[in-house]
Amino acid sequence: MLRCCALIAAGTAEALTTLTARRRIRATARRRIALSAAKDDGATLPGATYEVLHEDDDILVVDKGAGLLFVPGRQPHKHDSLISRVRSTRGDAVGVAHRLDRDTSGICVLAKTKAALRALSIQFQDRQVNKTYVGAVAGVPAAEGVIDGAIGKILTPEGYNRVALLSEAEGGRAATTAYRVLETAEHSALLELAPRTGRAHQLRVHLASIGHPLLGDALHGGAAHERLCLHSARLAFAHPATKRPVAFASDAPFDATGGPPPR
C-alpha cells in the first residue's frame, strides 16, 4: 500500500529547501557507463496502484505506485496506465502536464480542464515547479553536490534507444541535478534530489555517471532490487485557477538500504 501523503494547504505552503551544494561534479562522456540491454515488455506490473491525495475542479494530485505506467502505450498490453484508469472514472478531459517513469513512485499532478492544463504546462516548461525526489543509491557519495552533464538518446548495439550522457555537440541537452545525503547505510545511501532541469531519466543517468546508480536501476548499472528506488517526494506549484502556492508531500517507501523505512 502507498504511504500516506501530506497536503500543505494553499496559501500556507513553505518554500521547499533549496539545496546549496558546493561540490560540482562534471559528468562527461568519458564517464559513460555500459548500458544494460535488458528489456521487459514495458507493461504495468501486477499489483501496481495509485492513491488520490487531492482533487478539486481543476486538478487531481495522485501518489502513483511503482510499476504503474503513466500513460498508455499503443500496444494492447500497455493500455493499463494511470491516465487510462483516471479517465475511466473522470472522463477524457483529464490532461497530462508532466510524467513519471513507470518504475518511479510518488507525487504527480493531473489537469481536469484545458485551462488548468495550459497553466500547469507553462509552469513545468518555465521551471516554476519545485520538484524533489528521494532515491536510494549504491555507495555513499559526498554529503552534497551538483551534477552537470548533458543528456540525450543513443542507440545501443542491440538496437534499443537509451538515455545516456551525450555532449551538447552530439545533440545532448544540458541537465543539472543537485543532491544531498539524508542518511547512510553500510553500502548505500538515501539522497534528496532536486532536478534543476527536467530531462527524461535525468536522475538515473546523472547518479550512475558519478558511480552511485539507483538501487534497482538495471539499465544504468544499479544493483538488483525488487523495485527502482526513486520516489517523487514533493511537488510545489501555483494552483492553476487560484494562483496560490500549493505543495504536496509523500514519504518514500524505502530507506537508505532500499528496504521499508522503520515505523
Q: Catalytic positions, please?
A: 101
How many residues in total does the chain contain?
A: 263
Cβ atoms of residues 99 and 63 within 8 Å: no
Placement of cell 538518446 in the chain = 153
DSSP letter (8 states) at residue 67:
T
Alpha carbons 3 and 262: distance in angstroms, whole number: 13
Q: Give the closest residue to 27 by CA, choosing from 217, 221, 220, 210.
A: 210
Placement of cell 521499508 in the chain = 260
CA 9 to centroid of chain Cα atoms: 23
Determine how β-strand 24-26 pairs with β-strand 5-8. Answer: unpaired
For residues 217, 222, 224 and 228, what is the CA-based torsion angle, rounded to 10 degrees? -30
Instruction: Determine the 3-state secondary structure of 222 from DSSP.
Output: coil
Phi and psi at residue 139, in whole multiples of 5°?
A: 80, 175
